[in-house]
Amino acid sequence: MFKTCFREVIFLEDWKIKISVLWLSYVMALSAYMTVGILMPGVLADIVNEGVMSGMEITPEVLLLMAVLLLVPLVMAFVALVLKDSMNRWLNIIVGAVFFVLELLELSDLAANPSAALGLIWVWKTVVPLLIVWYAWKSKQKA
């Protein structure tokens, strides 16, 4: 019985596990990006003294947006493991593409304030959604 259960766990669709891990990796990279960004010279002082980060006032709406940007990938990591294949594929393709576009939009801010550390993390944050879209798309061809 143990061998049967173990085989079923191993048999979990490989692409779903990869996508789930990629979503978790994205959240970690996003958290690292935010942390390193806050530690850049002068940023923390601007946040504390003026309530401003990257020239943008920190409002409840901005904080809500930040929370959503952190929670959506966490939810997607779970959803990638439990949804049926067809819906799973399309949801990961769409949400992955949206997060890729968001990363491209962030490039202008990064170019205005260049940083090797932030640039390195940004590259991974940009590659991950593309990998998610790739694995989701590729899984359709295997079925």
pLDDT of residue 27: 97
Compute CA 134 distance to the chain's CA centroid, rounded to the nearest angstrom: 15
Residues β-bridged to residue 53: 56
pLDDT of residue 55: 79
In the block, tokens 């944050």 appear at 125
pLDDT of residue 142: 57
pLDDT of residue 61: 95
Strands (E), 18-130: 52-53, 56-57
pLDDT of residue 6: 54
DSSP secondary structure letter of residue 115: -
The model carries a pTM of 0.85
What is the distance between the alpha carbons of residues 143 and 124, in angstroms, rounded to a whole number? 29
What is the distance between the alpha carbons of residues 108 and 25, in angstroms, rounded to a whole number? 23
User: Is 9 exposed, middle or buried, given 0-12, 13-18 or 19+ CB atoms closer than 10 A?
Assistant: exposed
pLDDT, one tens digit for every residue, the chain (143 residues): 556 555 555 555 689 999 999 999 999 999 999 999 999 998 888 888 888 887 789 999 999 999 999 999 999 999 999 999 999 999 999 999 999 999 999 998 888 888 999 999 999 999 999 999 999 999 876 55
